[in-house]
A and B are shown apart, each in its own frame.
Chain A
Amino acid sequence: MTGTIAPHPARRPALARRLILAAALGLMIVAPAASAEKLVSGVSQDQVAINATFNGSDILVYGAVARDAPLAKGVTQDVIITLEGPAQPLIVRKKARQFGIWANKESVPIDSAPSFYSVSTSVPLRQALTHTEDLRYKVSIPLAIREIGGTATAKHPQTFVNALIDIRTKAGQYEMNEDAVKFRDDTLFSTRVKLPANLTEGTYKLRIFLTQGGQVVDMSHSEITVQKTGVERWLFNLSAKQPALYGILSLFIAVAAGWLASAAFQLLRR
């Protein structure tokens, strides 16, 4: 499937773009968005189905940069690809020794943290994107997490955000893959994004950035849907929508299994 291309100032019809470019040059305004590059992208699958044997998945993201004219000598461009899962609020707690026992003490509520977030780049991130552009587009992992503070009981909330990133990086939920995007002849790019087994259902947002000298030149958006299927979906829905029925079903299975095992063993013993 070809990625849907979001409206962007750089993607107006060629003639209009040239007119704007001419006007911009005429007014001596350098607008980074008004370049002659256009991202065309695709993903190997825009649906991820979680079934009983689901054990993580690999998504291939690929594409090309369409140009009106070749790049000037000495100018290089870079590609950054981010994939972001549905966000949730959560609380980071820290244990401390109290009366000889390790118990949760300080806590920092996080307003929103993506359940999955991966950044893949063709060169080290700081080289591909300036700090200002990073702040603007919220590309790097710490910027994807929103912590407003206020109710935090901790002195240094930032260490809690870092701890959250550490825990999720170890679990494969947050990934920073520098140099993982293959970018050939400044035209064709591709990378694999590894999705862990413990995925949260929902819409995953895929963003592709084309940068030059640390500035974003073009950007494209698309979506990947992650959904449970089959028995997994049926059980999940039943437990959420008809908990009483789900409980009775659980107990019926437990009692039947217990009774059957006892009856079967009595037959065997004879």
Chain B
Amino acid sequence: MSMSAGTATPVGAPRRGWVLPVAMLALGLLIGLSGIVGQIALYWDDIVYLSQEHVVLVASSGGAAILVGVPVGILLSRPSMQRVAETVMQIFNIGTTIPTLAVLALSMTLLGIGFAPAFFGLFVASLLPIVRNTYAGLLAVPGHYKEAAHGMGMTPVQILTRVELPNALYVIFSGIRTALAINVGTTPLAFLIGGGGLGALIFTGIDLMDTGMLLAGAIPTAALAVLVDFLMGQAQLRLIPRGVNPLR
């Protein structure tokens, strides 16, 4: 439906202004008329409960990944770690190639089922992009900033906090954004190892061929992913100083 509305636009007319609302409206009408809204509404209590579980999983594993990943990235970027750092990053890079579902499965073999293996699997999956971007972002800060800071009498900690981190912040934030996108996208799989979350509705819906149930899980998951990305985008826009922020 949305396509026909789009193709009817005269060439050269401003499209973006109204196509999207109209398409949304058409989609909404379609869904409303097919009675799916009613079916989804049946699962409202489940949606609320499972969304909470889902958000707790995302926030705890993502938060832990940030709290661990950034300091590890900083540590690896220190000149004294130069020799070890490349090896560690190689291992991390290999780790990134393992599919997240496999990470969760491996986590289950270690920690059994429930919240703990789900948390751990998601934590590991989100850790890699954060460490990698923090490390790469700090190494990419041009040497002459560090030299100037050093020559002006900043201590190593001052150089890190006042010069290196602010200048690497955009890259670090991009890593966190990627990590959280992976995290939110992988969290529904946590259901498979007993971690709970909106995956319960999705997978059960698939198994029962119940479209309403499936959508009751899929739509909030999608909305959450969009919301998290939006919030990260806003944070990236507003928290990074103007002088080093390509978005401003």
A, B assembled together: no
- Interface positions of A (Cβ within 8 A of B): none
